[in-house]
Amino acid sequence: MSGDGIISTTDLNLWYREKHALQSVSMRIPKNKVTALIGPSGCGKSTLLRCFNRLNDLIDHVKITGKITFDDHEIHAPGTDVVLLRKKIGMVFQKPNPFPKSIYENVSYGPRVHGVRDRETLDRIVEESLRHAALWDEVKDRISDSALGLSGGQQQRLCIARTLAVGPEVILMDEPCSALDPIATAKIENLIEKLREEYTVIIVTHNMQQAARVSDYTGFMYLGKLIECGKTVQIFEHPAEELTENYITGRFG
Amino acid sequence: MREELLKTNFLEGTLVKSFTIPLSALTRSATHARYSLLKEKSIQTVFFSTAFFAVIVVTFILLFLVRDGYPVFTQVGILDFLFGPDWAPTASEPLYGIFPLIVGTLLVTLGAMVFAVPLSIGCAIYIAELASPRAKSILKPAIELLAGIPSVVYGFFGLIVLTNFIRVAFDLPTGETWLAASVLLGIMALPTIVSVSEDAISSVPHEFREGSLAIGATRWQTISRVLVPAALSGIAAAIILGIGRAIGETMAVMMVAGNAAIVPDPVWNILSPLRTLTGTLGIEMGEVAVGSDHYHALFGVAIVLLVITLGINLAAVAILRYLNEGRVASAAKKPFFSARTRARILFAAGTLGFSLLLLILTAAPPYLAALVLFGGGGWYMVRPFIPENRVQQIAFVFIGLATLIVLAILIIILQDIVINGLPALSWEFLTTSPLDSGRAGGIFPAIIGTLDLVVGAIAIALPLGVGAAVYLVEYTQEGRMTQVIRTGVDLLNGTPSIVFGLFGFAFIVLYLGIGVSMLAGQITLALMVLPTVIRTTEESLKSIPMALREGSLALGATRWQTISRVVIPPALPGILTGAILSIGRAAGETAPIMFTAVVFSSRFLPDSVLDPVMALPYHLFILATNVPGSSMNKYGTALVLLLLVVSFYAVAIAARTHFQNKMRG
Ligand SMILES: Nc1ncnc2c1ncn2[C@@H]1O[C@H](COP(=O)(O)OP(=O)(O)OP(=O)(O)O)[C@@H](O)[C@H]1O
Ligand SMILES: [Mg+2]
């Protein structure tokens, strides 16, 4: 894979108790590009994604070996500031998970926990994040209403705005459109299109067309292994592995 | 079409050119990072301490019981203590054999279960499977109300109404008998068994129900052959919890059992008086000389009692936990016992039921015995020839009957106390001090004393309990330490309230030298409700979706920020509901405060937390058992206590329903 790697893994293995969920995964995520992770259900895409911001720390009985670096820092090194890591690597989840608070509070939550107190700064961050997430026009008159009153697609864009508000360098997206209808999906895809100018995006998706549309690079996973990884055009048009070709063309089973 | 969609959306997006978040405001210096790490660590330590507190309390309870009970084992000898046939601690040649007390405890509990189990399971089946949503919305709170009635009020009702009924019905000199105690304890165990069994039946996966109905089984066949077997281990746990509740009960049983320390003769004579372990403690602890042999013997009794109840409660907890794990861990682990285990359980239950039947038959008049025997035998013969829908009708009649009986019990108790208590209620009754040993005057100091006690108790228990729950749910990975803490909480939960009373007396009153005082009562009550606070808080924390925590952590919030800003606010209603329930429970308890905090009569309010107080439950207890006459004031006190406790429960239940609806809506 070419380009500057911002995140890379070397011989990464992960076990949930006895379940060997990631098997010797080595990959490099290029900076300021969109990388898609595809593969059949249960192959370990979410698990891999959650390794990058160490969210798997929350799960009991997880064992990890191998190396993950972010900006040349090893993220499992002792003394790593996980809080700072997660600030720099934001995440958008499969199901929108706005906090049961107002829209404003949702977006300002991140800056607040990172110590921004000044009301004007917060106002500006909220507005810019919402604009950036293409949600501002839809919610600007109801910014103090509960976020739970938004539609699913709006909630997901709110979660993206919430992530943008802490100024991350990388954004992880785990099937961000799977709970959304085609119109909302198109909005999110547009958003990703814009985000790639300033951020590194890693997106998990089950939708081949979506992967082809939005990503520069694609990794194909199967049963916990990274089978193939490269430029999206290449993966989709001339995959090196037969497994990849079968999956992409839908001849699988 | 698709292309167009994309295009319009693209144009519609209004992107600010450059994104200008002041990153300087967001970056952390190394010192700041270290400081915040330190802060997290100290917060975690605080929470750990609160959680570990439960373990410390259990250790101390054991330690002090053993310290004060040990001498009896060395002097009398363990075997002579446990199996000695005579309990005569005040005789000139004192005898400390607790065999009749152990037998009494077991018999009373057995009788209570014979009464409660069929009614409870019938009622649980009705609520889970047959009741309309409306009926359900009446029945469930009714059952909780039954659970909320203080035990001293049950005892009072038993003493005045139930024993009298038994005396007349069986033509006895006194109605204070094993039968009275068992019926009363059965009623008190009902709510526990009903609600836990109902939970177990309701949570049998829907597919089982549909699968059975889809192959043409009747509803009754589905219930009796699929649902109840699937819920069997849950029902077993419910019964064990009910047993634990019955064995640990003091006040009610002590007021109606007659308290003769004898083994009934013959042993199935349910009309004989008897005496339980708890009753012995309740009666004698108040009058014993500290440090005497008798004193040590009473602590020996408490140890035996504790061992029995803890064993029972741990069994129930193990079963429930096994079930819950089975449910989440894998779908393959079905909620059924293996066929062999089930056969064994059924065999044991059958044998037990049959011997009980015999037992009751020998005690009952012969025509009744004949009726039951012929009825049962006849049913067994004709059963195969009756169409399934007729069987279903018959079964449903019995189930409905069980439910009606439960409701009737509730109504009888409430109406008796309300009708007889209302005339006593007056402004004067509520606001003046008692006169003439409580026969006249009011109960003002008792009301205030009870409020003092519960407010203090909850002020102590709430921070500790919430802290422990936060630690258990939010901070730990399941491991050995959480196991230890959870076991500590379970043990505390299974400890009979009279044992808390003894511990409070030995440790707080005597050892710490605080004396019989409001403070000692508050601490004792706090320890007693601590497990409830922990449990309910845990439940409400667990009900907050993991996704919210992940969302917050993924933004780089610390654990404490996540807990305090994202997790606790929505969990607050649940936590407060638990607190209110605990207040209700504490307000109605007598046994823990009997030796630690109360005086019977006091014209004045306490000056400080180091003074003893009056309390409603204790006042009622003394009026009912030691003060003849004054029937109106007794009922008045019972009604006020009932109203006080029930209003706490009502608030808690209403709040919970409100917030549940809000969550769903
Ligand atoms: N908390 C967990 N405990 C145990 N096993 C887990 C856990 N989370 C995931 N797994 C297992 O690890 C494997 C990989 O899961 P993962 O969620 O990463 O798959 P995925 O590729 O994201 O699937 P999907 O496309 O369905 O989201 C699966 O077999 C899953 O069952
Ligand atoms: Mg996934």
Helical (H) or strand (E) element with B494: helix B480-494
Indicate the SS3 state at residue A8: strand
Q: With an 8 Å Cβ cutoff, are B547 and A131 in contact?
A: no
CATH number at A201 reads: 3.40.50.300
In terms of CA atoms, which chain B residue is nearest residue A165? B21
Confidence class of residue B22 from pLDDT cuts 50, 70 and 90?
A: very low
Give the whole-angstrom CA distance, residue B446 versus residue B597.
12
For residue A122, pLDDT beyond 50: yes
Closest chain B C-alpha to A240 CA, distance in angstroms: 31
Q: Which among B2, B26, B478 is the top mutation candidate for probing chain A, defined by the most A β-carbons within 10 Å of its own β-carbon?
A: B26
Tokens encoding A21: 């969920």
Segment A130-157 mean pLDDT: 91
B191: helix, strand or coil: helix
- Residue A39 in this model has a pLDDT that exceeds 50: yes
Q: Give the residue, by CA position, lying nearest to ligand 1 atom 2.
A: A16
Encode pLDDT of B397-452 as tens digits.
Answer: 999 999 999 999 999 999 999 999 999 888 888 888 888 777 888 889 999 999 99
Q: Using the beta-carbon criterion (under 8 Å), do B13 and A194 form an inter-chain contact?
A: yes
Position B339 confidence tier, pLDDT thresholds 50, 70, 90? low
Scan for tokens 């990975």, then name that residue.
Answer: B477
CA-based nearest residue to B502, from B106, B188, B70, B64 = B64
For helices B99-125 and B178-202, what crossing angle results, to 10°?
40
The beta-strand segments (E) located in B328-460 are 434-435, 440-441
CA distance A9 to A7: 7
Domain count, chain A: 1
Backbone angles phi, psi at B240, to 5 degrees: -65, -40
Q: Of the given ranges (B46-55, B64-73, B99-108, B330-339), which has the lowest mean pLDDT? A: B330-339
Across the interface, do B555 and A110 touch by the CB < 8 Å criterion? yes
Contact A164 B33 (CB under 8 A): no
CB-CB under 8 Å, B13 with A128: no
Q: Which of B497, B581, B500 is nearest to B539 (CA)?
A: B581
Hey, what amino acid is at B498? I
Count of CB atoms situated within 10 Å of the CB of B39: 12
The segment(s) of chain B belonging to CATH 1.10.3720.10 are: 73-329+391-419, 425-665
**Is residue A158 classed as helix, strand or coil in its secondary structure?**
helix
CATH topology of domain B73-329+391-419: MetI-like fold (1.10.3720)
End-to-end CA distance of chain A: 29
pLDDT at B92 > cutoff 70 = yes
Q: Phi and psi (nearest 5°) for A62?
A: -100, 135
- Of residues B383 and B430, more confidently modeled: B430
Q: What's the gap in Å between the CA of A241 and the closest CA on chain B?
A: 31
For the record, the structure tokens of B172 come out as 């006895």
Tell me the HSE value of A60 on the side-chain side, using a 13 A CA sphere: 9
Please answer yes or no on whether A162 and B551 come within 8 Å at the CB atom. yes
- A50-84: pLDDT as tens digits: 999 999 888 888 999 999 999 888 998 887 888 88
Ramachandran class of A3: left when φ > 0, alpha when ψ lies in -120 to 50, beta otherwise: left
- CB contact under 8 Å between A190 and B552, yes or no, is no
Q: Sorting pLDDT into bands at 50, 70 and 90, what band is B365?
A: low
User: Which residues in chain A are closer than 8 Å to B569, comparing Cβ atoms?
Assistant: 100
Q: Over the stretch B525-567, which tens digit does the pLDDT of each residue have?
A: 999 999 999 989 998 999 899 999 999 999 999 999 999 999 9
Instruction: Kindly state whether A29 is in contact with chain B, defined as any CB-CB distance less than 8 angstroms.
Output: no
Cβ atoms A55, B556 nearer than 8 A: no
Provide mean pLDDT across the span B324-336. 48
Q: Are B151 and B586 in contact (CB under 8 A)?
A: no
Nearest chain B CA: its distance from A242 CA (Å): 31
Q: Which two tokens stand for residue B74?
A: 């060395």
> B525, B92 in Cβ contact below 8 A?
no
From the list B13, B550, B557, which residue is nearest A190 (CB)?
B13
pTM confidence score:
0.84
Q: Is B328 helix (H, G, I), strand (E, B) or coil?
A: helix
- Which residue has a Cα nearest atom 20 of ligand 1? A42
Query: What tokens appear for B375 in the block?
Result: 């009825």
What does the alpha-carbon distance between residue B620 and residue B438 come to, in Å, rounded to a whole number?
9
Distance B554 CA to ligand 1 centre (A): 19
Distance A201 CA to ligand 1 centre (A): 21
As for the ipTM of the complex, it is 0.89
| Closest partner CB to B555 (pick from A86, A190, A194) | A86
Instruction: Give residue B71 CA to ligand 2 midpoint distance, Å.
Output: 63
Identify which of B527, B502, B625 has the alpha carbon closest to the alpha carbon of residue B582: B527
Q: Residue B584: which region, alpha, beta or left (left: phi > 0; alpha: psi -120 to 50)? A: alpha
In whole angstroms, what is the distance from residue B413 CA to residue B183 CA? 13
Ligand 1, pocket-test mutation among A19, A48, A173, most atoms within 8 A of CB:
A19
Whether A253 is covered by a domain: the verdict is: no
User: How far apart are alpha carbons B221 and B41 in whole angstroms?
Assistant: 57
Task: List the one residue out of B513, B511, B472 whose CA is nearest residue B490.
Answer: B472
Residue B348 CB neighbour total at 10 angstroms: 10
Distance from CA of residue B210 to its chain's centroid?
34
Element (H, E) at A29: strand A19-30
Rounded distance between C-alpha atoms, residue A29 and residue B190, angstroms: 62
Is CATH 1.10.3720.10 correct for B425-665? yes
CB atoms within 10 A of CB B247: 25
Q: Tell whether the model's pLDDT for residue B356 goes beyond 80.
A: no
Coil/strand/helix, residue B244: helix
Q: Which residues of B touch A88 (CB under 8 A)?
A: 556
- Chain segment B445-481, per-residue pLDDT in tens: 999 999 999 999 999 999 999 999 999 999 877 778 8
Enclosing domain of residue A101: 5-248
- Yes or no, beta carbons of B556 and A110 under 8 Å apart: yes
**What is the rounded CA–CA span in Å between residue B613 and residue B597?**
6
Q: How far apart are CA A202 and CA A188, in angstroms?
A: 14
CA B359 to chain centre: 29
- What is the residue whose two structure tokens read 């008798």? B294
Ligand 1 pocket, CB under 6 A: A 16, 19, 21, 39, 41-47, 59
Return d(Cα B616, Cα B602) in angstroms, integer.
12
Find the helix or strand (DSSP H, E) in which B24 lies: none
The distance of B15 to chain A (nearest Cα, Å) reads 6
A178 contact partners, CB below 8 Å, separation of at least 6:
A94, A205, A206
Peptide bond preceding B266 in cis form (omega within 30 of 0): yes
Residues in chain B: 665
Chain B residues whose beta carbon lies within 8 Å of the beta carbon of residue A164 = 19
